[in-house]
A = this chain, B = another copy of it.
Amino acid sequence: MSPRIITGTAQPVRGITVGTAGLHTGTDNLTLLAMAPGATVSAVFTRNSCCAAPIHVARQHLHGPTATRYCLINAGNANAGTGAAGIQDCLQICAWLAQECNCAPQSILPFSTGIIGERLPMEQFRAALPELCKTLQAEAWQAAAQAILTTDTVPKLGSAAWRVADSPACMTGMVKGAGMIRPDMATLLAFIATDVAVESGYLQDCLRHAVDRSFNRITIDGDCSTNDAVVLIATGQGPRIDADHGEGFRQTLEKLCEELALMLMQDGEGVTRVMEVCVTEGLDEDECTRVAYRIAESPLVKAALHSADPNWGRVLAAVGAAGITTLDPQRLCITIGDTAVFKDGAACVADAAALSAQLSGARCSIRIQLGRGTAHATILGCDLSCEYVRINAHYRS
């Protein structure tokens, strides 16, 4: 049975408290996530060669000998492109927070999202941290999911409950992401917590696997922004996951990540519809992924999708441009919704109005059969709208 994810609300997780406060602005844009001692933490970080200061610091703290106790997230300023000074700022903030919380600075993982290239407002951090620590409570996920946002329009969170043998277990996650039409340029931050007890190496394997099938399926070439991170915390206050119960845990994690990734797409800048691009019958997963990205990234396909125009010729051109030199167009099949539009090397007779109707909902599907093998891959894409251009042309003004 597939795990059921409840989205929009969040169940508290035993061993986790969260709190929010405001830097300079009237709204809360500073979030603290605290975990009780004994938690196991895994994370996946951006592979961007110019990654932000907090990524350097969080990676170092996570992989050092000190157990992680806090995640600190600020929205509005990415602390990226800030060089050695940015790293110093980040370490200073960890030191201040450590003093407030009476813990080691190395037990704090810092995360930032927002404008690149500006220094953090240090005095405002110093002023806000004491208040932030006082707001920690188990029930504040909703406020936290709001406080981590930048140009997102809605908080994005979800929870799942399942049973490990006879014991109840739960998992809750929140995510933010702005320019989700090209997530490699935006910052994707996700924080997921579960009350089960999981061995550290296994936790990392599960997270990597789930991210590859969710957040990395909406990301171009597996690239990330300067600040991307996905964090998974297992507090160990619920049942223990061993070999017998691993499957339920993995499935729940993967499903929750998929749902959070879908929410990201739906709240993408200027997005009016999400397209699932499913490529099958490839020689290997790599070529399927390349074809799917080529389609999902094509501005022409995306613009046509925006007006529900079934201009499948652009899909064909994208398939042909994916670099599979031995592709045989005679064996290729393109399906929009449930209607084949290209088969046996030529257009199928199809009713344009009916095709357009298949594209005009909030979700639609484009399926490509390559006729070469048995591999497959699915990517989520979205339409390209004037609203996207407007948001990104004037993000700073």
In the complex, are the beta carbons of B307 and A394 less than 8 A apart? yes
A117: interface (CB < 8 Å): yes
In the bound complex, what is the Cα–Cα distance between A344 and B83 (angstroms)? Answer: 8
Residues in A300-342 with C-beta less than 8 Å from chain B: 300, 303-304, 306-307, 309, 311-314, 316-327, 329-330, 332, 341-342
Choose, from A31-39, A46-54, A126-134, A205-213, the stretch at the interface.
A46-54
Instruction: Tell me if A165 counts as interface (CB < 8 A to partner B).
Output: no
- Determine if A81 and B346 form an interchain contact, defined as CB atoms under 8 angstroms apart: yes
Across the two chains, which residue of chain B brings its CB closest to A116?
B313
* Distance, CA A3 to CA B155, complexed state (A): 59
Q: Is A347 interfacial (CB-CB < 8 Å)?
A: yes
Evaluate whether A86 and B346 lie within 8 angstroms (CB atoms) in the complex, with A81-B313, A182-B299, A316-B81 already known: yes
A283 within 8 A of B: no
What number of A residues sit within 8 Å (CB to CB) of B?
Answer: 74
A226 CB–B CB distance under 8 Å: yes
Max chain B Cβ within 10 angstroms of own Cβ: one of A50, A226, A314, A386: A50
A310 to B248, CA, bound (A): 48
Residue numbers in B under 8 Å from A396 (CB-CB) = 309, 311
Given A84-B345, A304-B393; A185-B314 close (CB under 8 Å): yes
Cβ 8 A contact of A317, one of B225, B323, B389: B225
B-facing residues in A96-118 (Cβ within 8 Å): 115-118
Query: Which residue, of A80, A117, A223, A324, has the highest number of chain B Cβ atoms within 10 A?
Result: A117
Cross-chain contact A306 with B393 (CB below 8 angstroms): yes
Task: Report how many copies the assembly holds.
Answer: 2
Across-interface contacts of A394 in B (CB, < 8 A): 307, 309
Q: Are A303 and B117 CB-contacts (below 8 A) given A83-B330, A319-B50, A320-B51?
A: no
Is A2 in the interface zone, CB < 8 Å from B? Answer: no
Q: A49-B319, A320-B49, A346-B85 are in contact. Are A312 and B395 (CB under 8 A)?
A: no
Residues in B with CB closer than 8 Å to A341 are: 117
Query: Digit string of A376-397 for contact with B (CB within 8 Å is 1, else 0)?
Result: 0000000011101111111111
Q: Which residues of B contact A226 (CB under 8 A)?
A: 313, 316-317, 320
Tell me whether A316 and B346 are in contact in the complex, defined as CB-CB below 8 angstroms, given that A49-B329, A300-B179, A329-B49 are known contacts: no
Is A82 among interface residues, defined by CB-CB distance under 8 A?
A: yes
Cβ contact within 8 Å between A397 and B342: no
CB–CB A116/B314 < 8 A: yes
Chain B residue nearest to A325 (CB atoms) is B49
Contacting residues of chain A (141-196) with chain B, CB-CB under 8 angstroms: 179, 181-182, 184-186
Within the complex, what minimum Cβ distance (angstroms) separates A66 from chain B? Answer: 27
Given A309-B395, A346-B84, A395-B311; A320-B50 close (CB under 8 Å): yes
Q: Is the CB of B393 within 8 A of A317?
A: no
If A84-B345, A329-B49 touch, does A300 touch B385 (CB 8 Å cutoff)?
no
Expressed in whole angstroms, the Cα–Cα distance for A341 and B117 within the complex equals 9
A185 to B320 alpha-carbon distance, docked (Å): 10
Q: Does A78 contact B (CB under 8 A)?
A: yes
| A and B contact pairs by CB, cutoff 8 A, 17 listed | A48-B317, A49-B320, A49-B326, A49-B327, A51-B320, A78-B313, A81-B312, A116-B314, A184-B321, A185-B318, A223-B323, A226-B313, A299-B392, A304-B395, A307-B397, A311-B395, A386-B390
Using a CB–CB cutoff of 8 Å, the interface residues on chain A facing chain B are 47-51, 78, 80-86, 115-118, 179, 181-182, 184-186, 221, 223-226, 298-300, 303-304, 306-307, 309, 311-314, 316-327, 329-330, 332, 341-342, 344-347, 384-386, 388-397
Q: Give me the 8 closest cross-chain CB pairs, A-B, nearest first.
A: A116-B313, A50-B320, A83-B346, A83-B345, A303-B392, A386-B386, A307-B393, A48-B320
